[in-house]
Every structure is written in structure tokens, then in C-alpha cells.
Amino acid sequence: MAINLTVAIGDWQLKNPIMTASGTFGYGEEFSPFVKLSELGGIVVKGISLQPRDGNPPPRVVETACGMLNAIGLENVGLAAFIDQKIPMLAKTKADVVVNILGDSIEEYEEITAALDNEDVVKAIEVNISCPNVKKGGVAFGTNADMAAKVTDAVRRKTGKPIIIKLSPNVTDIVEIAKAVEGEGATAISLINTLLGMAIDIETRRPKLANIVGGLSGPAIKPLALRMVYQVASATNLPIIGIGGISSLEDVLEFIIAGATAIQIGTANFVNPALSGELVRGLENYLQNKGLTSVKQLAGSIIT
């Protein structure tokens, strides 16, 4: 029997629930030796800001127990260069592209969204209100329900494409923020972004990251991400995209069972650049072996 892997995020029909997370998959092209990009549910490109950014001084990454800290600081080519140089390249790959966007102000979010609204290759816009590595904007919007709602509303008015709001885990009550963005017309919610962490070099007594603090990702954070996905899935009606430490088929299944409609692979892309493609096939085989015909039979199937 044919296995149905498709899922929906608003009007966008994903071939399957396996996506790749922003900032961990470059602009896709880097991974083309390892993954056929058009076979993935979607790829989320590195966060784009209105102006190009140099990012933070190095060191920018450091490994921690079962995880890593990064303080890239949103280095990116900027909106104009992205549209000029990256979009045509992405169009050729036939991948379903989600653009992750970040602004210092609501106006910037609006301007980027309006510009991307014209691009056919862009299937959805993921609004990053949760980057812990930039001073202004970013996480400030993501840790306050009112601000999160305002950004959602503003972006919503600038495009007919699905709007995915990417939430920060660095909050007391993730459900409150999720409900706030649901109320303003978010199409979906993705979570989690990284958790703010730190590491110190005991020899130099300096932080291991030049930026002092950075975002924690990888298997270490999976239990937190899964809990938040479960909580938000239980409390809202939006499709959820689960992110956080996913590095095996078992992890994918845990998130889907907890209530995720789709998932994103982040840090694990660095460990195995071919992983995302392998998981599409692995998920299909799993469903087949279990006698299931659709991934939707798994979604939110948790028994409590």
C-alpha cells in the first residue's frame, strides 16, 4: 500500500514532515552532495535580515555535553542579495523553501515579508522572534506575548503565504506566547529555537564564546523541546513544527507522537549531512512496517 507522508501547513502541502532548520543547512546548496533537496518536506534557509550582517566575532561555536553553543549573530547576506543571488539558485533545486526572517523592528519584519511575498520559490515564511544571539529584536519579541502577537499581526498583513512563528524556549510560559500568535493569524508555530547558555575556559577565565553567551542546541535540549511541543500542541489548534535535538528516526517519531505536524533537523545536519534524506526514507519504512498508511495516523497519537 502506498504510504502517505504529506502534511499541510496552511495551504502549503509538504511532501513529508522532514524539514531542515534555519542556520544549520546553509542555503541548501552546501548539502546538495548529500541530500536531494527536492525530496525533503522543506528546507529553511539561514535567517535573513534587511541589511547584510557580519555576525559576531569568533569564537562562535563550542561543543558542550551532547550539544553545542553557537553565537553566529545572524551573519547573512541581507535581503537584497538573498533575492538576487540565492533565490535563483534555490529555484533550480526545486526544493520547497522556507525563509527564516529576523528584524530589529516590526517595520523590518514587514519589509522583508513584503519583499518575499513575490517570490514563488518561497513556500512559507518563518518568523524568527527567538534568536538569542543578536542584541536588538530577536528574542525580545519572542519572550513577550504582546510583542509576539504584534509581530505576527504585522507580518500577516504583508503576505498571503503561510506564516510560521518560531518561538523561543527561554520563557516561563510557552503556551501563553503560542496562544498570542495563534490569535493574530499565525499559520503554524515552530519550536524550539536555542536556549541561552554559556561555557568558560578555565585556563584563560574567559567565556569560550566571544559573545559571552550563545544558543544551546543538539540532543541535550531534546527533552525540553519535546515537552514544549506537547504543551503547545495540547493547547492550540495550529500545526506545530517540532525542532530541538532531533538526530534519529526515533526522535522524529517522538515529536510527531507528541503532536508535531512536521519537524526540523538542526545540529544533526552537521554530524550527518545526509540525515534529512535518510529520515524521509526511514519514516516511510517505519510506517510500512507498522501497517500504517499515513503519517497523520501518528500525529498527536500520544496516550496519557
Partner 1 sequence: MNLPQVIEQATLLANEMIAPEIHRMELHAPGISGVAQPGQFVMLGLSGLDPLLRRPFSIHQCTDNSITLLYKVVGKGTTAMAQMGAPQQVSLLGPLGNGFQPALEATHHCLVGGGLGIAPMLFLANHIRKSQPNAGVTILLGGRNKQELLAQEEFAPLGNLQVATDDGSAGLHGFVSELLENIDRKDMHVYTCGPLPMMKVVAEICRKKSWLCQVSLESHMACGMGACLGCAVEKAELRPNEKKYVHVCKDGPVFNASLLWL
Catalytically annotated residues: 131
Whether the upstream peptide bond of residue 243 has omega within 30° of 0, thus cis, is no
Instruction: Answer yes or no whether residue 74 interacts with ligand FMN by CB under 6 A.
Output: yes
Q: Which span sits near partner 1 by CB under 8 A: 57-65, 82-90, 97-105, 282-290? A: 57-65
Of 37, 43, 72, 124, the one binding partner 1 (CB under 8 A) is: 72
Give the other-Cβ count within 10 Å of 3's Cβ: 15
Nearest 5°: the CA angle 280, 71, 124 is 40
Alpha-carbon torsion (285, 291, 297, 299), positive or negative: negative
Q: What is the DSSP string of 190-235?
A: EE--PEEEE-EETTTTEESSTTSEEEEESGGGHHHHHHHHHHHHHH
Q: Which stretch binds a second copy (CB under 8 A): 44-52, 103-111, 220-228, 262-270?
A: 220-228
Instruction: Decide: is 100 part of the binding site for ligand FMN (CB under 6 A).
Output: yes
- Restricted to residues 255-284, the positions that interact with ligand FMN (CB under 6 A) are 266-268
Among 167, 246, 253, 260, binds ligand FMN (CB under 6 A): 246
What span, in angstroms and rounded, lies between the C-alpha atoms of 296 and 261? 8
Query: What is the per-residue DSSP string for 112-127?
Result: HHHHHTT-TTEEEEEE
Residue 224, interface with partner 1 (CB under 8 A)?
Answer: no
Q: Locate cell 546548496: which residue?
A: 29
Q: Verify binding: residue 2, partner 1, rule CB under 8 A.
A: no
Contact 226, 76 (CB under 8 A): no
Burial of 98 (0-12, 13-18, 19+ CB in 10 A): buried
Q: Identify the residue among 11, 51, 57, 66 touching a second copy (CB under 8 A).
A: 66
Contact between 78 and partner 1 per CB under 8 A: no
Does 197 bind a second copy (CB under 8 A)? Our answer is: yes
CB closer to partner 1 out of 207 and 218: 218
Query: How far apart are alpha carbons 231 and 42 in whole angstroms?
Result: 24
* Cα separation, 122 vs 126, whole angstroms: 10
22 makes contact with ligand FMN (CB under 6 A): yes
Residue 219 binds a second copy (CB under 8 A): yes
CB of 69 to a second copy, least distance (A): 6
Q: What is d(CA 64, CA 29) in angstroms, rounded to the nearest whole number?
A: 28
Least distance (Å) from partner 1 to the CB of residue 197? 14
Chain center to CA of 234? 20
Applying CB under 8 A, the residues found at the interface with partner 1 are 23-26, 30-31, 33-34, 46, 52, 54-55, 57-63, 65-68, 70, 72, 75, 218-219, 247, 267, 269-274
Applying CB under 6 A, the residues found at the interface with ligand FMN are 21-24, 46-47, 70, 72, 74, 100, 128, 131, 166, 193-194, 217-218, 221, 243-246, 266-268
Applying CB under 8 A, the residues found at the interface with a second copy are 64-67, 69, 143, 170-173, 195-200, 202, 204-207, 212-213, 216, 218-224, 226-227, 230, 245, 250, 253-254, 257-258, 301-304
